[in-house]
Structure 1
């Protein structure tokens, strides 16, 4: 069946045993990821997580169904997250349809398929299945962001005005994943809970430095993608002192890479780099960086970067190694690759 992104979490949590597969698709990568994070939140507390990619399904379309119906080592509940990068959903169709055609039961499967549309043959199969749901995540409008931020704030025990919600939306470019991080940061600072709600003062965002955090993160990202290792080392040192969120950086980097991929496709179709990067949709301070990055990174390499960054998020959540070290190592690898391609 088909669901709206704003309804899918509520519908699934109301009857989780009714659904064996949930698929999030559409152009908004971070929204797809954010919804999956919300969907699996109750499971993540006690169930075993199994991560899969298209590489796990290439040799055997039955592998996904087998995993969903395999018992965990200790007999615990499991859930599967299948991450499909742009263009990979077609290759995963046989595996997903095999799962849907099998006997009911098994562990739930959550599929993140950014770039996939809801008019494909696979989407139609999921819509027709009584025990599956699909939602298409489009880019968030300012109005949607404000409404969602106010809902988030209420759940965290914050009574925020519409004006503050608008300010958070503007600071995070309507990215609801980043907006949630800001709301949680405010709630933590004020020690707010639903049982003991608080009303933040109007200057709370300035105090907590949301805008400066994102600007600092952007400097890190530009240094890595520009191949400027010396500048990257300086920004890493600064970020250590300030305590930048690793997951927040990943989400901002994904948003940047998605924009870079969009601009790179225009260059591939005959557009001039300077003209494409100088478009009004690109913030004027970032135009020089986009020009440089469009000359360094091909569409194929950008796609691989997105895949690596998505995989990094999985690693941060599951490896047990220090997040900061893993992230810094990846940024340095990206910078070295960019420097060789200049």
Structure 2
């Protein structure tokens, strides 16, 4: 069944036994993952999480239902997560929903799915599934989201602080949450002892992530300039910037170019499309459309998304993983441009 954000978070927080499958789809993958982590919190710190790859479900569709029905080795609660799912997971989800019993809840994150996809239609039509779409918030929505997350941490935003947090995190729900958790710790804030978050506090802890620097790095990657990109990544590293907003902005830019590329390949006039682009980005967009093919864009988007998931995982190599993915994008562009 279709659900909005409030409905699906309430169901996850309650670990509703009536729901076997939570399908979180749409381009805001970070927002979907942040909601998925609520299930782990709801099940408790001892809960076991089983991660399955879409490729596993493609080769063995029954695996998802089997894992959902299996008991934990230690007798604790368990849940299953599938990240980066697409149409290859339809058969597995069909078997899960048709199984005699479910047992353990399943969260499937599908950033590339659309409302018209078979996976979304399957889950929408079944009362044992909940489906929620995640889209990158615009500026106003991101400000409200930052204010809401801050309130959960016991922080009262003032002046421009909500906007600064939203911009610094590039509208990424997960990054905003992590940043506000750190700020709450710094201010010793909690819901029962709220603290005011002002501009002076943000200045003191350096919460701005350098939008201009990130934009230059993204442009260097998409233009196919590894040498120029190396200098920009070094500047971001010295500034102590988080790699997640950079990866998220790069994916958004690649997706925007991919959509335009598809329209042009279908016969649309390139000059008319460029007129819809913000004037400061028109020259860079024109270059990108000359460089990038649809298959190359698909490969680059997949590479950056995998790097983002790996960077968000526990005990990861952080900036190294992000830098490798961004440099890979620049090399793909360089090969396209040769």
TM-score w.r.t. length of structure 1: 0.83
TM-score (norm 2): 0.84
Instruction: Could you tell me which runs of 5 or more consecutive residues in structure 1 were left unpaired when the two chains were aligned.
Output: none
Q: For the Cα contact (< 8 Å) 2:169–2:209, is it kept in 1?
A: no
Instruction: Give the drift of 1:72.
Output: 5.0
Tell me whether 1:238 sits opposite 2:235 in the alignment: yes
Contact 2:224/2:329 (8 A) holds in 1 = yes
* 1:49 and 1:80 in contact (8 A); partners too: yes
Higher alpha-carbon deviation: 229-238 or 125-134 = 125-134
CA RMSD of aligned residues (A): 3.2
Distance across 1 between alignment mates of 2:51 and 2:288: 31
Say yes or no: does 1:5 pair with 2:5. Answer: yes
The aligned residue for residue 317 of structure 2 is: 322
Deviation, structure 1 residue 99: 0.3
Q: Give the whole-Å Cα distance in 2 for the aligned partners of 1:322 and 1:256.
A: 24
Partner in structure 1 of residue 98 of structure 2: 101
Deviation of 1:23 (Å)? 0.3
> How do 1:93-132 and structure 2 match up within 5 A?
93-118=90-115, 122-132=119-129
After superposition, the Cα gap between the structure-2 partners of 1:268 and 1:208, relative to the gap in structure 1 and judged at 3 Å, is: farther
Q: Tell me how far apart the structure 1 counterparts of residues 101 and 256 of structure 2 sit (CA, whole Å).
A: 40
The 2-side partners of 1:44 and 1:238 are apart by: 40
- Summarize the Cα distance change of 1:119–1:259 in structure 2 as closer, same or farther, 3 Å threshold: closer
Instruction: List alignment gaps of at least 5 residues for structure 2.
Output: none
Deviation of 1:225 after TM superposition, in Å, equals 2.5
The answer to whether 1:276 aligns with 2:273 is: yes
How many Å apart are 1:159 and its aligned residue? 0.9
Give the direction of change, closer, same or farther, for the CA distance of 1:234–1:166 in structure 2 (3 Å limit). closer
| 2:304 corresponds to 1:309 | yes
Please show how residues 1-342 of structure 1 align to structure 2 within 5 Å. Answer: 1-43=1-43, 45-72=45-72, 76-84=76-84, 88-89=86-87, 91-118=88-115, 122-161=119-158, 164-166=161-163, 168-169=165-166, 174-184=171-181, 186-202=183-199, 212-273=209-270, 275-280=272-277, 282=278, 284=280, 286-318=281-313, 320-342=315-337
- For residues 234 and 264 of structure 2, the distance between their equivalents in structure 1, rounded to whole angstroms, comes to 35
Tell me the SS of whatever aligns to 1:215: helix
